Structure 1
Amino acid sequence: MSIIPIINPTHSYTFADYFKLNSEPDEILSYFGYGHESRPLNLPQTHRQLEQLESLKQRLQKILPYVSFTSEMARREFLIAPVLMELIHYTQVKIKVGYSLKVSEHLKGELDYFLQTKTQFLVIEAKNADLQRCFIQLAVELIAVEKAEFANYSMLYRAVSMGNIWQFAVLDTQEKRVIQDTNLYRVPADLTELLQIMVGILEG
């Protein structure tokens, strides 16, 4: 009895296609030669004073009761966009929205938010479904970013956001392993720690 491969070598796949595959992360990542691990991550954090953060948290707390977050567009505009604008204020990071990337027929598609400074990358995916399946897509996107060879980094960072919940992942380029953070960050409750991490990552 032959085993049907998870990924058909003759087919073309976009990043979004991996979200739809009914497979375990380690099964998909092993196809590309990478391992998978889930554990709490000790992520970089800035020690700077983020002086506008409390104001943003208060504004979000005021508007949340009045906005319906049943659509992905609502979460992007009212929860994700304010966080990214705050991030620009502290890091002057350039953000490319809907950034197209093609490495091969198996590694191509659009990155929702592609952030780049002189020292680091951070790619953010906006999703409205379960985080485990989101992780598979973001892990494949991290592999594509590494293979695109934008720069030689030992660690590449990625985040997935459901608007009110954020989760990080890291690609260890030396170990060829994608590590899924088991910690979750809520907005606005954990906004301070979330921004400290993202600023810390982009500061390198």
Structure 2
Amino acid sequence: MSKARILDPSESYTFSKYAQLAYDTADILAEFGVTLKNSSLQLPQQLPIDLEPLRIELQENLMLVDLVSEIARREALIFPILKTICKFIQVPLKIEYPVRVSNWLKGSFDYFISTPQNLLVIEAKNADLARGFTQLAVELIALDQWTDSTVPMLYGSVTTGDTWKFGIFQRQEKIIHKDINTYAIPSDLNWVLSTLFGISLS
């Protein structure tokens, strides 16, 4: 007996809508023929810059800004980190980048760094990393179908600004790996920045 579908073929779904659905991430991804696996990810690492100026900037921002709103977390923590990456590798940081693949795969990528690896970063709405990862996973599926890149893996991260979680989409195998680890800012800044650089420069 086949499993009942949870997405309505006649409905239209934006990326952010998936973070609001009550279904398990694995069940949502199964609608796209994709499997979810929880893994301790071994991510590429490079740190080609001095970390200290960014660490100081983030610590100052944390002292000055109350992170109660999404816009505060974006401007105080997420944007400075991603700007640092893009400034060094000399590529634009695309913000609220619109993408449409189908009625089930459409919306805007919060942050998109267009390198061969095509790094996606999304902000977890309502600071909910679990639901945010569901949205990230669906956006990676959309990116897989949308991009001309032929790399075997696509990378993404969901963040609340002060917490980061990474994911990988193995394109040919149709498996999304969700990292079982989370990383805090500023304490794990070295690891987060090394990973973002590692992905962007690989």
Q: What TM-score, normalized by structure 2, do the two folds share?
A: 0.94
| Alignment partners' CA distance in 1, 2:48 and 2:16 | 37
| Alignment partners' CA distance in 2, 1:63 and 1:89 | 19
| Alignment partners' CA distance in 2, 1:108 and 1:148 | 10
Aligned length: 200
CA positional deviation for 1:167: 0.7
| Alignment partners' CA distance in 2, 1:63 and 1:7 | 41
1:183 is paired with a residue of what secondary structure?
A: coil
CA positional deviation for 1:139: 0.3
1:104 is paired with a residue of what secondary structure?
A: coil
Q: Quick one: structure 1 residues 115 and 49, their matched pair in 2 at CA, closer, same or farther if it must change by over 3 Å? A: closer
Whether contact under 8 Å (1:90, 1:199) holds in the other structure is no
CA positional deviation for 1:93: 2.4
Listed as ranges, the gaps of 5+ residues in structure 1 are none
CA positional deviation for 1:130: 1.6
| Alignment partners' CA distance in 1, 2:72 and 2:148 | 32
Identity of aligned residues (%): 41
Cα-to-partner distance string for 1:50-106 (whole Å, 9 max, x where unaligned): 22x112112322331231110000000011111012112322222111111000000
Q: What TM-score, normalized by structure 1, do the two folds share?
A: 0.93
The residue number in structure 2 matching 1:180 is: 178
Read off the aligned partner of 1:50 and give its amino acid letter: I
- 1:125 matches 2:122: yes
| Alignment partners' CA distance in 2, 1:23 and 1:130 | 15
2:138 is paired with a residue of what secondary structure?
A: helix
Find the partner of 1:81 among 74, 79, 84: 79
The residue number in structure 1 matching 2:49 is: 50
The residue number in structure 2 matching 1:193 is: 191
CA positional deviation for 1:3: 7.4
What is the 5 A alignment of 1:1-204? 5-46=5-46, 48-51=47-50, 53-117=51-115, 119-127=116-124, 128-204=126-202
Q: CA RMSD in A?
A: 1.5
| Alignment partners' CA distance in 2, 1:171 and 1:106 | 18
Read off the aligned partner of 1:41 and give its amino acid letter: L
| Alignment partners' CA distance in 2, 1:201 and 1:165 | 18
